[in-house]
């Protein structure tokens, strides 16, 4: 697609003039007004004359396709909100959405918000125990789910007296529902033309996202309706969503990317999106993008690296000329992947950095801005960011020094607390800064370079080395498919670098190769960064959202408790 002017004209100009009032003005919101995300994403778009515009193009893994306009979205979310209300779900109750990426998940999420209840999305691949931990913490009132996931809920039902309603969205009547189970079919349920949305205001609770911490128990990050102000404008300026776009966010709404930018940001902008729960293969994904003429694509480094493995030839088999903007989030995006995407798609992936707790994009590469491959870019206009000295927690003024990424806690979508855990929430702030728990350095031109999670940085002989840097270097070795680098205890140096490596097909594990890879890193980076030990593995432990769980590997090395691994995709 020929490039077109981006929404953000110039980053430098925007930094000088930006204020969140721009977002409020576009949303016609004034402080103190009612603000309901459910209404903003459906009713308002219809009122703006886009009722018949496509909101959602959905394709199942079996090839079934469904399409919904913004008016459908309005009616179905009304219907779901009204259904929940009639059942007895109240404002402020937690309603868990436990579904695959089906239309009911997206609509249910907005329906819950219209009702003024709190949406608690959970990844549908969670087993009973993971589900229980999170429902117990939130004392969830209702869960919306599919038949296929019912057994996982039934398993733990006795332990959940607070869970009053189990709503099955695909019940076909073939098997009797049990106690506390109710059927809701959005195709056949009479559509509710008018539903009075709960008159939520800025600080009314909206979404409760559970996120795994390093200390073990997952924490419920509490967001409010006012987050819309951040999500709307970042979707517009960073993802560059425009009127005729077809947007594809590959994230599952069980994770924050799938809600902030897979539901709220996109639909508040009145943009068409496509969703599929088709499994990952490069060919499947390219076919989906080709068929739906995707223009803006928001994905994640693990996916991009998997696509890389298949090479550019796989890309060239498809007509992907509709693509005009690519962005990535979730973990470090290696310079190599950025360079590859230029080769493969004729444009670079734009790295974006943020967290469940921030609710919206904080540091990013913007359309039209010079990209330095491997850098996360610069703070979003309106965000005051810095890196803090690791000991004093004071901002580091010298360039190139590694510190903790921190933000002035004054943007609209910052979390308001952790559910039941005000103490850990408070520990996230120091000297007036929100502490991200991630380390980075800032270069002469103000670009942020990610180093690692605060707990992942390796201290070897008093020198800090970042696992990401080493993993990136390892990836450049022809034999390496994936790697994870952790610190391993060492009596002299405190820690040394250990690399877990999955080899590409066709390479055999042997001592020669091991030494060759070690030397490769030593030459590229330094002797400090060189892995002292390499362990070849078939695959690396990853969270279900695709992040390599270094801490699982690290804990093994240190003989420590692994903590909560309920989001682990594969066991080692």
Of 51 and 405, nearer to ligand 6R9 (C-beta) is: 405
> Rg of the Cα trace of the chain?
23
Q: Is 200 exposed, middle or buried (0-12, 13-18, 19+ CB in 10 A)?
A: buried
Q: Which helix (H) or strand (E) holds 8?
A: none
Q: Answer yes or no whether residue 331 interacts with ligand 6R9 by CB under 6 A.
A: yes
Q: Answer yes or no whether residue 230 interacts with ligand 6R9 by CB under 6 A.
A: no
Task: Please choose, out of 22-30, 323-331, 415-423, 555-563, the segment that lies near ligand 6R9 by the rule CB under 6 A.
Answer: 323-331
CB atoms within 10 A of CB 516: 12
Of 69 and 483, nearer to ligand 6R9 (C-beta) is: 483
Task: Please choose, out of 24-32, 119-127, 163-171, 352-360, the segment that lies near ligand 6R9 by the rule CB under 6 A.
Answer: 352-360
CB atoms within 10 A of CB 271: 25
Q: How far is the CB of 330 from ligand 6R9 (least distance, A)?
A: 4
* Three-state SS sequence of 21-50: HHHHHHCCCCCCCCCCHHHHHCHHHHHHHH
Interface with ligand 6R9 (CB under 6 A), residue from 220, 262, 330, 412: 330
Q: Answer yes or no whether residue 329 interacts with ligand 6R9 by CB under 6 A.
A: yes
CB-based contacts of 4, cutoff 8 Å, min separation 6 = 242, 324
Q: Answer yes or no whether residue 211 interacts with ligand 6R9 by CB under 6 A.
A: yes
Q: How far is the CB of 157 from ligand 6R9 (least distance, A)?
A: 29
- If phi > 0 it is left, if psi is from -120 to 50 it is alpha, else beta; for residue 106 that is alpha
Q: Answer yes or no whether residue 255 interacts with ligand 6R9 by CB under 6 A.
A: yes
Please, how many CA atoms are within 13 Å of residue 280, restricted to the half-sphere of its CB? 16
Q: How far is the CB of 450 from ligand 6R9 (least distance, A)?
A: 4
Task: Please choose, out of 136-144, 182-190, 281-289, 325-333, the segment that lies near ligand 6R9 by the rule CB under 6 A.
Answer: 325-333
Of 437 and 563, nearer to ligand 6R9 (C-beta) is: 437
Of 149 and 544, nearer to ligand 6R9 (C-beta) is: 544
Of 274 and 376, nearer to ligand 6R9 (C-beta) is: 376
Q: How far is the CB of 213 from ligand 6R9 (least distance, A)?
A: 10
| Integer angstrom CA distances of residue 551 from 2, 543, 563 | 43, 11, 9
Site mask for ligand 6R9 (CB under 6 A), range 141-180, x = bound: ----------------------------------------
8 Å CB contact between 247 and 266: yes
Of 137 and 351, nearer to ligand 6R9 (C-beta) is: 351
Interface with ligand 6R9 (CB under 6 A), residue from 257, 302, 334, 472: 257
The tokens of 28 are what?
């016609």
Q: How far is the CB of 434 from ligand 6R9 (least distance, A)?
A: 12
Q: Answer yes or no whether residue 349 interacts with ligand 6R9 by CB under 6 A.
A: no
DSSP 42-100: THHHIIIIITTSEEEEEE-TTS-EEEEEHHHHHHHHHHHHHHHHHHT--TT-EEEEE--
How many angstroms separate the CA atoms of 37 and 227, rounded? 9
How many angstroms separate the CA atoms of 484 and 572, rounded? 13
Site mask for ligand 6R9 (CB under 6 A), range 441-470, x = bound: ---------x--x-----------------
The DSSP output letter for 274 is: E
Of 72 and 351, nearer to ligand 6R9 (C-beta) is: 351
How many angstroms separate the CA atoms of 60 and 62, rounded? 5
Among 242, 246, 234, residue whose Cα is nearest residue 274: 246
Q: Answer yes or no whether residue 252 interacts with ligand 6R9 by CB under 6 A.
A: no
Q: How far is the CB of 484 from ligand 6R9 (least distance, A)?
A: 14
8 Å CB contact between 126 and 103: no
How many angstroms separate the CA atoms of 23 and 268, rounded? 11
Of 8 and 329, nearer to ligand 6R9 (C-beta) is: 329
Interface with ligand 6R9 (CB under 6 A), residue from 77, 222, 276, 356: 356
Task: Please choose, out of 249-257, 290-298, 512-520, 525-533, the segment that lies near ligand 6R9 by the rule CB under 6 A.
Answer: 249-257
CB atoms within 10 A of CB 543: 20
Of 385 and 534, nearer to ligand 6R9 (C-beta) is: 385
Q: Answer yes or no whether residue 72 interacts with ligand 6R9 by CB under 6 A.
A: no
Backbone φ and ψ of 10, nearest 5°:
-150, 130
Task: Please choose, out of 237-245, 250-258, 314-322, 485-493, the segment that lies near ligand 6R9 by the rule CB under 6 A.
Answer: 250-258
Of 269 and 543, nearer to ligand 6R9 (C-beta) is: 543
Q: How far is the CB of 327 from ligand 6R9 (least distance, A)?
A: 10
Dihedral sign of CA atoms 63, 249, 205, 32 in order: negative
CB-based contacts of 509, cutoff 8 Å, min separation 6 = 503, 536
Q: How far is the CB of 447 from ligand 6R9 (least distance, A)?
A: 13
Residues of this chain that bind ligand 6R9 (CB under 6 A): 211, 255-257, 329-333, 351-356, 376, 436-438, 450, 453
């Amino acid at each position: 697609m020929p490039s077109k002017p981006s929404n953000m004209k110039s980053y430098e100009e925007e930094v000088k003039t930006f204020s969140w009032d721009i977002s409020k003005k576009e949303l016609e919101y004034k402080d103190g007004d009612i603000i309901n995300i459910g209404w903003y994403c459906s009713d308002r778009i219809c009122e703006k004359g886009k009722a018949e515009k496509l909101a959602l193009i959905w394709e199942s893994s079996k090839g079934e396709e469904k399409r919904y306009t913004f008016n459908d979205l309005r009616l179905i979310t009304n219907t779901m909100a009204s259904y929940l209300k009639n059942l007895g779900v109240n404002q402020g109750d937690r309603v868990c959405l436990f579904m695959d990426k089906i239309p009911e998940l997206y609509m249910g999420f907005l329906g819950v918000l219209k009702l003024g209840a709190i949406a608690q999305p959970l990844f549908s691949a969670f087993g009973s125990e993971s589900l229980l931990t999170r429902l117990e913490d939130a004392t969830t009132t209702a869960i919306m789910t599919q038949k296929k996931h019912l057994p996982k809920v039934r398993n733990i039902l006795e332990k959940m007296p607070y869970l009053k309603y189990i709503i099955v969205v695909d019940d076909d009547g073939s098997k009797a529902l049990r106690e506390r189970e109710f059927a809701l079919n959005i195709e056949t349920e009479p559509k509710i033309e008018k539903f009075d949305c709960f008159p939520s205001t800025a600080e009314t609770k909206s979404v409760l996202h559970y996120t795994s911490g390093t200390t073990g128990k997952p924490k419920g990050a509490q967001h409010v309706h006012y987050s819309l102000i951040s999500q709307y404008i970042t979707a517009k300026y960073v993802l560059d969503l425009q009127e005729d776009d077809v947007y594809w966010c590959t994230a599952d709404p069980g994770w924050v990317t799938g809600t902030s930018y897979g539901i709220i940001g996109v639909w508040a902008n009145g943009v068409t999106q496509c969703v599929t729960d088709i499994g990952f293969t490069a060919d499947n994904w390219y076919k989906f993008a080709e068929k739906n003429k995707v223009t803006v694509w928001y994905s994640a480094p693990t996916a991009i690296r998997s696509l890389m493995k298949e090479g550019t030839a796989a890309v060239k088999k498809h007509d992907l000329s509709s693509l005009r903007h690519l962005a990535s989030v979730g973990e470090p995006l290696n310079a190599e992947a950025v360079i590859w995407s230029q080769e493969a798609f004729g444009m670079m992936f734009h790295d974006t950095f943020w967290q469940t707790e921030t609710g919206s994009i904080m540091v990013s590469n913007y359309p039209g801005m010079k990209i330095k491959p491997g850098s996360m870019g610069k703070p979003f206009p309106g965000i005051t960011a810095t890196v803090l000295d690791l000991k004093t927690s004071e901002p580091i003024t010298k360039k190139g020094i590694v510190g903790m990424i921190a933000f002035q806690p004054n943007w609209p979508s910052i979390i308001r607390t952790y559910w039941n855990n005000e103490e850990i929430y408070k520990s996230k702030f120091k000297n007036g800064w929100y502490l991200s728990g991630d380390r980075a350095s800032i270069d002469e031109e103000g670009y942020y370079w990610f180093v690692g999670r605060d707990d992942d940085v390796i201290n070897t002989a008093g020198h800090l080395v970042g696992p990401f840097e080493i993993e990136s270097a390892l990836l450049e070795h022809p034999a390496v498919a994936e790697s994870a680098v952790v610190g391993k205890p060492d009596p002299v140096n405190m820690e040394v670098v250990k690399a877990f490596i999955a080899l590409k097909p066709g390479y055999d594990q042997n001592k020669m190769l091991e030494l060759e890879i070690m030397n490769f890193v030593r030459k590229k980076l330094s002797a400090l960064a060189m892995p002292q030990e390499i362990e070849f593995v078939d695959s690396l432990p990853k969270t279900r959202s695709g992040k390599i769980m270094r801490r699982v590997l690290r804990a093994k090395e240190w003989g420590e408790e692994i903590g909560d691994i309920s989001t682990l995709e594969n066991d080692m």
